[in-house]
Amino acid sequence: MSRLSLTQLATLQAFVRTGTLAAAADHLGYTPGAVSQHVSALERTFGARLVERSGRHLVLTDAGRVLVEYADRMLAVEKEARHAIASAEGRVAGPLLVGTWGSTAAGLLAPVVGRMTETFPEVAVRSREVDLDDAAAAVRRGDVDVAFGLDYADAPIPRDDRITVTALHLETFAIAVAAGSGRPRSRRVDVEVLAELDWILPASGSQYGRALRSGFRRRGFEPRVVHEVTDTAASLQLAAAGLGATVMTDLMRRLNPTSHLQRLEMADPLTRQIVLIAPRRADVRQPIAAFTAVVTDVVAALLKAPSPRR
């Protein structure tokens, strides 16, 4: 039996994640022929078929699915070992891929990367937009090294021993309506007023949408949703145009500081926690530890200041 190759395991892993050998080759920077050779070499190593044709597509065999589970674990250990060795040498260096989305990309990424560049110049920070609902899974899979996330009382991030979740900042939701809509500025509103409004909210199937609807229901009303919009900046624009009410936090407000919005306060406001999601044993990965410390400081400095009000 030939010696096992981590490179070949990474190729098999990429095939599973991208869906085709061609996509895996593009993702890894190999030729399709090289990817096929890696899979064939693994089959010779284990003496078993790992992929088979199903119609026009290649899929994993039962043996292939077993090997992928081990491949994920072995490659994760290999990455952990590399970072542990770097840590033992006292170096804070290497690549760091950060998962971002919406308001964190717009409001936090630039100052965080700037601080990292100043403080830890040997860490090469890159970012990739991730679906917010998939942020924790992206860290578990190793698609990104660390990711921003959101935790809601009514829709928490599922925890397990593969990730750690660090709280960064507790945000309070206000209600945003068009300026000049006849409601006093910064006035607290009760449930009866909220129940009368038309609403601009994200889809109910998303973590965000579920959290808002559940929170409103616990406060005694069912929001009448007239526009389902996930993008925060678009929601604020629609609210400013008088198409309904939406929710906003201080960080979200930074996406649209010039819109003609009026801020209303709930007597019992909804909240959410901005968090940083990292893999288990992040303590042996110096770039992640450094990034976590920098993010904590930057978020505290940025979000302690009051948001612009209209």
Q: What is the pLDDT of residues 26-57, one digit of tens each?
A: 988 999 899 999 999 999 999 999 999 888 88
Q: For the whole prediction, is pTM greater than 0.85?
A: no
Long-range (24+ apart) CB contacts under 8 A made by 153-159 are 153/211, 153/215, 153/271, 154/210, 154/211, 154/214, 154/215, 154/218, 155/207, 155/208, 155/210, 155/211, 155/214, 157/275, 157/277
Which of these, 140, 151, 102, 113, lies nearest to 274 by C-alpha position?
151
User: What pLDDT is recorded for position 307?
Assistant: 43
Please choose, from the candidates 203, 200, 235, 76, the residue with its C-alpha nearest in 3D space to the C-alpha of residue 133: 203
- Of the segments 223-237, 255-269, 280-294, which one has the largest average pLDDT value? 223-237
Q: What is the mean pLDDT of residues 116-131?
A: 92
Q: What is the pLDDT of residue 284?
A: 57
Q: What was the pLDDT predicted at 186?
A: 47
State yes or no: pLDDT of 258 exceeds 70: no
DSSP-assigned states of every residue in 17-28: HHSSHHHHHHHH
pLDDT recorded at residue 212: 95
Confidence label for 220 from pLDDT (cuts 50, 70 and 90): very high
Amino acid identity at 15: F
